[in-house]
A and B are shown apart, each in its own frame.
Chain A
Amino acid sequence: MKEQIPIIIVLAPLVAALLSPLLAYFSRKLVRGTGLLALLLSFFSAFYALKHVLLEGTWSYSFGNWAPPWGIVYVIDVLGGTLAVLIATLSFLILVYAGEFFRDEKWLKEGGSYGLFLLIVAGLLGMSLTGDIFNLYVFFEISSLATYGLIATGGYRAVVASFKYLVLGTMGISFYLLGVGYLYALTGTLNMLDLAERIQPLLDSPAVVLAFGLMTVGLILKMAQFPLHGWLPDAHTFAPPPLSALMSGIVIKVPAYILFRIYFTIIGVGAGPLPQILQVLGVIAALGIIMASLLAIGQREFKRMLAYSSVAQIGYVVLGISLGNTWGLIGALLHMINHAFMKGCLFFVAGGYIYKTGEYSLEKLKGVYRQMPLTMGSFSIAALSMIGVPPLAGFFSKWYLILGSLEAALWPYVVVIILSSLLNLIYFFRVIENIYMQKTEKAQVTTWEKPELPWSMLIPILVLSLGIIVLGLSNEQIVTQVLQYALPGGGY
C-alpha cells in the first residue's frame, strides 16, 4: 500500500468529489464528513510522500507500470511534495470554514458545491505531482472547470464574472497547449525529464523560444500576473468567500510552480533563452507589484481590495523566479507558502464579516472590533504580516527576495519591494484604522457575543493566524530543511 501513496494523494479528493452529490441526497453530515476525511487522507499521504522524498530522493510513480517516457509518471520531488502538503493543508482548513457557505436547502446544490470544491483540490494536487506536460494540461482543466462552476454559485454578478474568467482562462490554457504542441513537434516526447534531455541541443532555435514564450504567456494569464489580471478582481469579489480564499491562496500559485518547473527543470538553469525570458519576466513582475498595489489603495470594497492585493503578491513570486539565484528562488517559494496562509486568513475574515453583518464595503467596518475581537485580531496579524513586520511570516519572504535582488545587483527590484511594502501599509492600515479607531455608527451592535462567528468559521481563522506566527518564527527551519532541497542544484 505504501507504494501507492502518490496516487492516493489525488485519488482521495477525486473519489469524494464524485460521490458528493449522491451522498448529499442521504445526509448533509455525511457529505461534509466524507469531504473532510478525503482531504485529511490526502494531507497525510502528501506529508508521508514529502518525508520520503526528503530522506530518499525523488519518487517516481508510473501509472499502470508503463515505464517513462512511454507511460505517464508522477514525479514527486521536494518542490512538488511541499506544494502538495500546502494545498492539502489549506484546502482542509477552507473546507472546514466553508460549512456555513455551502449550506443550502437543496441537497443537489450543497452536494454539488462540495463536489466541485473537491474536484478543484484534486486537480491542483495532480498538477503539483505530475511529470508529464500534457497530464498537467488535463489536471489544469479539471481544476479550472470546477472553479468556473463554483464561482457562479455566488450570486447574479458572480455568474457574469465566472463567464469572463471562463473565456479568458480557456484562452490562456490554449496558449499553453499550443506551446506543448510545439515541444512535442520538436522532440516527440511529453515527459518532463525526457524533454529536458532532448531539448538541450535545440535550445537556440526560434521554435523552442516560441514554445516557451507561448507557455509563459498562457501561465501568466492563469496566474493573474499584472498585464493579464483582468479576470481576477471580479472573480474574487463575487465568489463565495471560501472559494476566494482557495483561489488567492493556491489556485494562482500553481501556475507559478509550473513556470518554475518549465524554466528550471526542463530548460535548466541559465541555459538557452532563459536569461532573456527571466529579464522580461522580472520587469513585468516589478511593474505588476507597483500597479496592483496602487490599484488596491483605490478600492472601497473589502474583497476587491484583497483581490488586487493578490495580483501584487503573485508579482513577488514571479519576481523571485525571475531573479534565478538561490535567495530569489527561496524567497519565491517561501512567499508561496506564506501568502497562502496570509491571504487565506484575510479572506476568511472578510467572509466572516460578510456573514455576520451582511455588509461588503470598507466604510461599514468602523469600530467593528467590539463585535468581533478575535476575528479582527487575526486580521491585524495577517495584515501586519502582509506589510512585512518581523517576526511574522511576510517579513522573511520579502527579506529573501531583497537578498536575491542584492546578489544579482538589481537595485530597482529592491526599491520596488520596499516601495510596495509601504503601499501595502497604506491600504491595510486604512482598514485597521477603521476597525479599531473609528467610532461605531449609532445603530450598530457593540457587544461581544461568544462565539462571534460559528466555530466552523472561527477555528480556521485562528489556526491560520497562529500559523502565520509559527511560519515566521520557524522560517529558518523551513528554508534549511525543506526549501533548500527544492532548488535546482543551487541556482546561479
Chain B
Amino acid sequence: MQEFLTEYLIYGLILFLFILGPYGMIFKKNLVKKLMSMNIMQVSVILFFLALGQKEGGTIPIDLPGLVGAPHYINPLPHTLMLTAIVVSLATLGVSLGLLLMIQKNYGTLEEDELLRRMNQ
C-alpha cells in the first residue's frame, strides 16, 4: 500500500495537475482563469521536485539532538530550489496581474472572445 502511494499515486496526481494546467489555459475563456491554470501547472512542477526529496522515516532537515546521519533527514536541496521557483512563480503572478489590470482598464473586459472583438474594432 505504501509503495503504491509513494511511488505511483503521487506521480499520478502530479501528472494530473500538469495536464490540468494547459487544459485550463486552452479551454477557459476568462483571462484570470487562464492565469490560475498557469499557476496550477507551475505548482505541479514544484510538487514533482518535492516528491523527490522525501525519504521513508525521514524528518524535517533541521539538526535535531540525538539524530545523526543523513538517513534521518529528508533531502533539503529540492526544497531550497523550489523556494526559488515559488518566488519566480509569485513574481510572474504579480506581473501578469498588473497586465490584466491594464487590459481591464483599456478594454473593459477580461473575457477572451469579447476582448478580441473589442480589439479588432
Contacts and interface: CB of A to CB of B under 8 A. Distances in A.
A171 B22 contact: yes
A15 interface: no
Contacts of B95: 145, 148-149, 166
Given A171-B21, A174-B41, 15 more contacts: A141-B88, A141-B92, A145-B92, A148-B95, A148-B96, A149-B95, A152-B98, A156-B119, A159-B102, A162-B99, A167-B35, A167-B96, A174-B21, A178-B45, A184-B49
Given A145-B95, A178-B18, A160 B115 contact: yes
Interface stretch (B2-10, B59-67, B77-85): B77-85
B45 A181 contact: yes
Contact of A160 (B22, B85, B92, B119): B119
A184 B52 contact: yes
12 contacts: A145-B91, A145-B95, A156-B107, A159-B102, A163-B31, A163-B103, A166-B96, A167-B96, A177-B85, A178-B48, A184-B49, A184-B78
A170 interface: yes
Contacts of A134: 81, 84
A181 B49 contact: yes
B88 A174 contact: no
Contacts of A178: 18, 45, 48
Nearest to B92: A170
B92 to A, nearest CB: 6
Contacts of B88: 137-138, 141, 145
A415 interface: no
Counting chain A residues whose Cβ lies within 8 A of the other chain, the interface size class is 20 to 34
A157 interface: yes
A185 interface: yes
Nearest to A146: B95
DSSP class of A's interface residues: helix, strand, loop or mixed? helix
A170 B81 contact: no
B30 interface: no
Nearest to B43: A174
Contacts of A181: 45, 48-49, 52
Interface string A138-162: 1001000100110010001101101
Nearest to A159: B102
Contacts of B100: 163
Nearest to A190: B81
Interface in B29-86: 31, 34-35, 38, 41-42, 45, 48-49, 52, 78, 81, 84-85
Contact of B45 (A149, A167, A177): A177
B20 interface: no
Interface string A47-89: 0000000000000000000000000000000000000000000
A171 B38 contact: yes
A407 B38 CA distance: 44
> Considering residues B18, B52, B81, B100, which has the most beta carbons from chain A within 10 angstroms of its beta carbon?
B81
Interface in A160-192: 160, 162-163, 166-167, 170-171, 174, 177-178, 181, 184-185, 190
A63 B49 CA distance: 24
> 9 tightest A-B contacts by CB?
A141-B88, A159-B102, A156-B106, A163-B99, A185-B52, A178-B45, A177-B45, A181-B49, A181-B48
Nearest to B75: A188
A157 B119 CA distance: 7
Contact of A159 (B22, B78, B106): B106
Given A145-B92, A181-B49, A167 B34 contact: yes
B19 to A, nearest CB: 12
A134 B49 CA distance: 12
A177 B82 CA distance: 10
Interface in A104-122: none
B36 to A, nearest CB: 11
Interface string A471-482: 000000000000
B99 A152 contact: yes
Contacts of A145: 88, 91-92, 95
B120 to A, nearest CB: 10
B9 to A, nearest CB: 17
A130 B102 CA distance: 35
Interface in B84-121: 84-85, 88, 91-92, 95-96, 98-100, 102-103, 106-107, 115, 119
Contact of B42 (A159, A163, A174): A174
A68 to B, nearest CB: 15
Contacts of A171: 21-22, 25, 38, 41
A338 B58 CA distance: 54
Nearest to B116: A160
> Considering residues A145, A167, A174, which has the most beta carbons from chain B within 10 angstroms of its beta carbon?
A174
Contact of B103 (A159, A167, A185): A159
B85 A167 contact: no
A376 B102 CA distance: 36
> Considering residues B88, B91, B100, B103, which has the most beta carbons from chain A within 10 angstroms of its beta carbon?
B88
Contacts of A149: 95, 98
Contacts of B84: 134, 138
A167 B25 contact: yes
Contacts of A159: 99, 102-103, 106
